[in-house]
Structure 1
Amino acid sequence: MLTILFSLGILVWSIFLLDGLIGLHKIDPLEKEEDLESGSLLSVVVAARNEEKQISTSILSQLEQTYKNVEWILVNDRSTDTTGTIMEELTKTDPRIKVIHIETLPAGWLGKNNALYKGTLIASGKWILFTDADVKYDKHAFAKALHYFERHQLDHLTAAPNLSAHRFWLKSFVAFFLFGFSYFKRPWLANNPKSKIGTGIGAFNLVLKEAYESFGTHERIKMRPDDDLQLGMKMKKAGYRQRIVTALQLIEVEWYGSLREALVGLEKNTFAGLHYRISMVIFSVLGVFITNVLPFIMIFSGNKTIALLSFGNIVLSGILYVIVIKKLTLFSPMMFLVFPITALLFIYSIIRASLLTFKRGGIVWRGTTYKLSELREKD
């Protein structure tokens, strides 16, 4: 049985590796793009809840952009800290900043999705950039992104930022997450106009306002906790022109401050990514264990065939890991040395998030509990 599994694994890894080599090569680094010196208005929409420690630094980095025809719409989503006050103070530094305060959440909406949608209602720009309150920007980021957007005549552009992390196990976990996301979701297919597969990243989702409105706005994804990914996926599936780029030197975000924060943060969208299905949870857990953990155990098997096949699986997955990490992060590929351990941590995160979702009867996000029945209805 193991011989068949590991032989099949080598075939699958070979396919993934070839697909990744071709696909990742087609993801352009935004750093090499020219700047758009002048052009139409860009509306930046930032939805924030209890982001008093991050939002000022993020917005101030955006105000330094070389592209000047920009307006900012900061949406205070029912914050209980000083986020709203900081937003109002920021309006005094630049007249291009507008602030919306949301006090109550309408039925049938997730908080962030509602906040982003409300922000777009007063947006006047040709383009809308959805970004988070903890993202820091190089001064050329907007100009390069807009030039790339116009040059490729796009409806949607998303950019992979530098996901900074300061602790080893957090880095290794984030690296494994990106690796798993890459071979499971194949985000590079967003750059293939013939493919219906799309993607979206919350740190940087840039859309043509006209396309966003004709698509159906955030009302199409109002109960999706993975709103950033779903916006990109559904727009591409609907036929809108889309691309993904990397922006590792232009955009930076500290996704989580610790491994514990990462596990807590993934509670809200792990089960959503598996379509709220137990069958998908079981499939994912077994799949990750068999492909990313078991070969590291069975390489010590007394059966030479199984040991050799295990080695083949490890080598092929290692090559793909290095390629993905070098393309999408600034992390060291040497973290592959703890690959099976981080795979086990990832399995734990899937099981933990799924069990907590069932125990709570839904997810807790931005201070609000959303029932599983509501989430499934809108899936």
Structure 2
Amino acid sequence: MNRTPLVSILVPMRNEEQNVRDLLLSIQSLSYPNFECIIINDKSTDQTWELLQQYTQGDSRFRILQGRTLPERWVGKVHACHQLSEVAQGDYFLFLDADARLTPDTLEASLSLMDQHKAKLLTGFPAFPVETLLSKLLVPLQHFIIYFHLPIVFANYTLRADTTAAHGAFMLFERDAYLHIGGHRSVQSSLVEDVHIARKMKEAGFRVILANITSYVSCFMYDSNQATWAGFTKNIFVGLGRSVPLVLFLSLFYTIFYIFPFILLVKGIYMPSLFLLLQRLYIDKNTQQKAYVSLLQPFALLTLIILMFYSMSLSLRKKRYEWKGRTYL
């Protein structure tokens, strides 16, 4: 492998004025010597465009685009990523969310890991600094689900599509493999495009690596309780394949194995809940999460159950999900 291949860092932005400065400073601090950064302003109605111009002025590594009108049957973020891929020149495409932050050596470490595993896609769940109540309850559960529900060995060492996980905040593709599957056009109507495009990669015979990237990438996913609720509402039932039986099964499973043991505390039965807390502490320690968040585990899973039913009810009633000023079925 060329030791310094060109990496195209591709960032879709829609109403991200609160993230522009910190994201750009993060990218500008990268130690990797050969990258371009292309950012698309996807019809923002805030100061995103003006701030992008301000913080990239004089830096030839950056290019700022204005997004085209969203076509029928496309999801907004997916269409923005597709437009970015059309102009990118890199040997690798790194798709970042605007709320991601990178350490200076992120690209070197990521390319080395891809080379080591002969992978064509590297993704992972970042560290999640959490501030609001709902984000503390829900956002860290992503790591919990990956650690205990996904067979990592099958995810990383087989081409089985049903053992695929991905996080759209950080997805590093080898260019030719990405183009081979049709890029984001191949998942143009997906609300969980990260998982679906990773599955496309596996189905085409390309290796996908799900790595613990929490030492390199942080993601400030939601800045309010309202945004947390809306984001999870949009993704959770769709991410479960819109499967009513799966929602019912998971709700029963979490209630019996992860909520009921804490109810037993009133009876003086401590061991089940202690085991579950130690389990969660292990996850939080390995994913750079604050330790006290683990104490919220039973409330987190109760909130998740409520959210699953709410997201499912919207879908079954043909109500539209709302996200960043757009609506989706």
Q: Map residues 128-143 of structure 1 onto 2, 5 A cutoff.
A: 128-143=93-108
Q: Distance in 1 between matches of 2:71 and 2:137?
A: 39
Structure 2 distance, partners of 1:270, 1:189, is 22
Q: Tell me, in whole angstroms, the C-alpha distance in 2 between the residues paired with 1:238 and 1:319.
A: 39
Code of the residue aligned with 2:101 in structure 1: it is K
Does residue 170 of the first structure (1) align with residue 135 of the second (2)?
A: yes
Aligned to 2:284: 325
How far apart, CA to CA, are the structure 2 residues paired with 1:108 and 1:95? 35
Paired with 1:187 and 1:87, the residues of 2 have a C-alpha distance of 38
Q: For 2:29 and 2:232, locate their aligned partners in 1 and report how far apart those are by CA, in whole Å.
A: 32
Displacement of 1:71 in angstroms is 0.8
Asked if 1:249 corresponds to 2:215, the answer is yes
What does residue 23 of structure 1 align with?
none
User: 1:139 Cα deviation (Å)?
Assistant: 1.2
Q: Distance in 2 between matches of 1:159 and 1:177?
A: 11
What one-letter code is carried by the residue in structure 2 that aligns with 1:173?
L
Match of 1:92 among 53, 57, 82: 57
Letter of the 1:192 partner, please give it. Answer: Y
Q: Which has the higher contact order (CA 8 A, sep 6+)?
A: 1
Q: Give the match for residue 356 of structure 1.
A: 314
SS of residue matched to 2:41: strand
Aligned match of 1:282: 248
- The alpha carbon displacement at 1:119 in A equals 0.4
Relative to structure 1, the CA distance from residue 180 to residue 154 in structure 2 (aligned partners, 3 Å threshold; closer, same or farther) is closer
CA contact (8 A) 1:102 1:115 kept: yes
Q: What's the CA shift string for 1:64-116, capped at 9, x where partnerless?
A: 21112111111111111121222333442311212221241111110000100
What amino acid is aligned across from residue 118 of structure 1 in structure 2?
A: Q
Instruction: Give the corresponding residue for 1:115.
Output: 80
Q: 1:80 to 1:168 in 2, by over 3 A?
A: closer
Q: Give the partner amino acid of 1:144.
A: A
The superposition leaves residues 201-244 of structure 1 with CA deviations (integer Å, 9 ceiling, x where unpaired) of: 12210000101111221122111111222222332343211212
Pairwise CA RMSD: 2.6
Amino acid at match of 2:290: F
Contact 1:131 1:202 in 2 (8 A): yes
| 1:298, distance to aligned residue in structure 2 (A) | 4.5
Answer yes or no: is 1:39 the counterpart of 2:4.
yes
Q: Quick one: percent identity of the two aligned structures? A: 26
| 1:131-164 superposed Cα distances (whole Å, 9 cap, x missing partner) | 0112112111112212222233220111332110
The answer (yes or no) to whether the contact 1:157–1:244 under 8 Å persists in 2 is: yes
Identify the match of residue 239 of structure 2 among 273, 281, 292. 273
Correspondence for 1:4: none
Q: Which has the larger radius of gyration?
A: 1
Task: Tell me the residue number matched to 2:261.
Answer: 295
Q: Secondary structure at the match of 2:123?
A: strand
SS at match of 1:128: strand
For residues 124 and 70 of structure 1, what CA distance do their matches in structure 2 show? Answer: 10
Provide the rounded CA distance (Å) in 2 between the counterparts of 1:279 and 1:195: 22
Aligned counterparts of 1:231 and 1:269: Cα–Cα separation in 2: 15
CA distance in 2, matches of 1:133, 1:336: 27
Q: 1:153 aligns with which of 97, 118, 127?
A: 118
Residue 20 of structure 1 corresponds to none
Measure, in 2, the Cα distance between the counterparts of 1:132 and 1:256: 12
Where does residue 225 of structure 1 map in the other structure?
A: 191
**Structure 1 counterpart of 2:109:** 144
User: Which ranges of structure 2 fall in alignment gaps of 5 or more residues?
Assistant: none
**Residues 299-318 of structure 1, C-alpha deviation per residue, up to 9 Å, x if partnerless?**
656xxxxx97xx66545544
TM-score (norm 2): 0.89
Among 288, 298, 303, the residue aligned to 1:340: 298
8 A Cα contact 2:128 2:140, kept in partner: no
1:9-48 matches, within 5 Å, as 38-48=3-13
Change (3 A) 1:164 1:103: same
Residue 234 of structure 1: aligned partner = 200
**How far apart in 2 are the matches of 1:339 and 1:58?**
30
Other-structure match for 1:207 = 173
Q: Secondary structure at 2:126's aligned position in 1?
A: strand
Please, which runs of 5 or more residues in structure 1 have no aligned partner? Answer: 1-35, 302-306, 372-379
Structure 1, 46-55 or 249-258: larger mean CA deviation? 249-258
**CA-CA distance at 1:296 after TM superposition:** 2.5
* Rounded Cα–Cα distance in structure 1 between residues aligned with 2:25 and 2:13: 15
